[in-house]
């Protein structure tokens, strides 16, 4: 218990760091707007971006299931060893200074147990629905919701334990944040996405950081390399129905974006 408490306290400063980063980003957006001389003017034509990507994740934190605490310390190797299916991608549509986007992450994990004989399946989904308002050519205000879904199934194969046990937990976080972009050279660009959310409506508090470096492959496609950190602190119920998911997911990210 002391180790878990110490680990929890170690993770607590990160939301404060994120709030500082987002505050700095908003301040920077005002400076960018002044220096750009109103060059954030956009075309009235619709533009679209599709970006499939791959996460190489690891997870760290604590969960409580039916009132019992469990430590989470999962490496990329353990995740890929039990990965049955995964899909990640982002789609965005823009017109003038407004836009909308959808980010989806889905992982299906499964394994077989010998004693007792059972099949274990665990699915994790995170769907983010965004609205975007361009403040200038380098900065977007982001607002929306992130829908989190956790599904677990335990299927016992042999007596005396038989039958299936399933449980699903889901919650929706309102979020607000910023997206920044900066051209570094003719082919290189830097982008940063950050948001905070939950505010007790879903999670007690949640935050997301996502910096990337982009390398233009053609006029309409870019290779992206990045690092993502997503934190969720959600709990519900009490007693033997108490459930808690206080986990930080970190991941190396590689993907492609296609503009049309």
Residue 73 included in any domain: yes
119 belongs to a structural domain: yes
Instruction: Indicate whether 240 pLDDT > 60.
Output: yes
- Lowest average pLDDT, out of 6-10, 49-53, 98-102, 186-190, goes to 6-10
- Of 50-59, 71-80, 190-199, 246-255, which gets the smallest average pLDDT? 71-80
Tell me, yes or no, whether 94 lies in a domain.
yes
Average confidence (pLDDT) over 220-249: 94
Provide the pairing of β-strand 118-136 with 68-74: unpaired
Cβ contacts of 70 within 8 Å, gap of 6 or more: 62, 63, 64
Question: What band does 6 get if pLDDT is binned at 50, 70 and 90?
Answer: very low
Mean pLDDT of 41-64: 88
- The tens digit of pLDDT for each residue in 146-178 reads 999 998 877 776 666 666 778 899 999 999 999
Q: Is residue 38 part of a domain?
A: no
Whether 162 is covered by a domain: the verdict is: yes
CATH number for the domain harbouring residue 151: 2.40.128
Lowest mean pLDDT: which of 31-40, 66-75, 108-117, 183-192?
Answer: 31-40
Mean pLDDT, rounded, for 13-32 = 48
pLDDT of residue 161: 64
Q: Give the pLDDT of residue 17.
A: 47
* Mean model confidence pLDDT for the chain: 83
Residue 36 has pLDDT above 50, yes or no: no
As for how many domains the chain has, the answer is 1
Confidence of residue 212 (pLDDT cuts 50, 70, 90): very high
Q: Show the domain range for 53.
A: 2-33+44-259
Please give the average per-residue pLDDT across 83-98, as a whole number.
Answer: 92
Give 54's strand partners. Answer: 254
Cβ pair 118, 94 in contact under 8 A: no
Does some domain include residue 79?
A: yes
Average pLDDT over residues 201-222: 96
pLDDT in tens, 117-131: 767 788 899 999 999
Answer yes or no: is 147 within a domain: yes
Task: Output the pLDDT for position 250.
Answer: 93
Domain annotation covers residue 172: yes
For residue 15, is pLDDT > 70?
no
Calculate the alpha carbon distances from 241 to 71, 112, 124, 145, 167 in Å: 18, 26, 20, 26, 12
In the predicted structure, residue 142 carries a pLDDT above the cut 50: yes
Residue 35 has pLDDT above 70, yes or no: no
Task: Report the pLDDT value the prediction gives residue 182, as an integer from 0 to 100.
Answer: 95
Q: Which residue has the tokens 């994740």?
A: 57
Range of weakest confidence among 29-33, 39-43, 53-57, 66-70: 29-33
- On whether the CB atoms of residues 194 and 215 are closer than 8 A, the answer is no
């Amino acid at each position: 218990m002391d180790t878990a408490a110490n680990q929890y306290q170690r993770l607590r400063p990160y939301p404060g760091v994120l709030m500082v980063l987002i505050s700095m980003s908003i301040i920077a957006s005002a400076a960018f707007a002044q220096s750009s001389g109103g060059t954030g003017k956009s075309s009235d034509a619709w533009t679209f971006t599709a970006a499939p990507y791959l996460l190489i994740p690891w997870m760290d934190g604590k969960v409580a299931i039916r009132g019992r605490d469990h430590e989470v310390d999962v490496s990329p190797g353990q995740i890929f060893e039990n990965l049955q299916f995964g899909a990640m991608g982002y789609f965005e549509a823009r017109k003038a200074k407004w836009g909308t986007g959808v980010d989806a992450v889905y992982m299906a994990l499964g394994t077989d147990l010998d004693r007792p004989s059972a099949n274990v399946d665990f699915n994790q989904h995170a769907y983010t629905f965004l609205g975007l308002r361009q403040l200038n050519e380098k900065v977007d205000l982001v607002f929306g919701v992130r829908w989190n879904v956790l599904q677990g199934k335990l299927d016992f194969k042999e007596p005396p334990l038989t039958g299936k046990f399933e449980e699903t937990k889901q919650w929706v976080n309102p979020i607000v944040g910023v997206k920044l972009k900066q051209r570094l050279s003719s082919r290189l660009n830097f982008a940063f996405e950050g948001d905070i959310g939950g505010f007790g409506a879903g999670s007690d508090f949640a935050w997301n950081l996502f910096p990337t470096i982009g390398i233009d492959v053609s006029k309409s496609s870019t290779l992206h390399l990045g690092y993502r950190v997503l934190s969720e602190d959600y709990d519900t119920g009490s007693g033997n129905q108490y459930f808690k998911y206080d986990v930080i997911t970190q991941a190396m990210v590689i993907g492609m974006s296609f503009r049309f």
